[in-house]
Amino acid sequence: MNKTIRLEDLGLLDYKKAWEYQEKLFKNILDTKIKNRRENVGLETQNHFLFVEHPHVFTLGKSGDLDNLLVSKEQLAQKNASFYKINRGGDITYHGPGQIVGYPILDLENFFTDIHKYLRLLEEMVILTLAEYDVKAERSKGETGVWLDVGTPFARKICAMGVRASRWVTMHGFALNVNADLGYFDLMIPCGIKDKNVTSLNVELGQAKVSMQEVKDKLLKHFLGLFEAEVYS
Q: Is 191 a catalytic residue?
A: yes
CA dihedral 133, 182, 219, 46 (to 10 degrees): 180
| Candidate list 176, 191, 201, 220, residue with the active-site label | 191
Task: Print the domain residue range for 127.
Answer: 4-232
pLDDT in tens, 48-98: 999 999 999 999 888 788 888 999 889 998 999 999 998 887 788 899 999
Query: What's residue 88's pLDDT?
Result: 84
Q: What was the pLDDT predicted at 42?
A: 92
pLDDT band at 190 (very low <50, low <70, confident <90, very high): low
Burial class (CB in 10 A: 0-12, 13-18, 19+), 165: middle
Query: 42: domain CATH number?
Result: 3.30.930.10
Q: Which residues belong to the annotated binding site for substrate? A: 88-95, 160-162, 173-175
Residues annotated within a binding site: 88-95, 160-162, 173-175
Least confident residue range of 64-68, 98-102, 136-140, 200-204? 64-68
The count of structural domains within the chain is 1
Longest dimension (CA), the chain: 57
Determine the average pLDDT of the residues in 161-178: 95
Residue 122 contacts residue 161 (beta carbons within 8 Å): yes
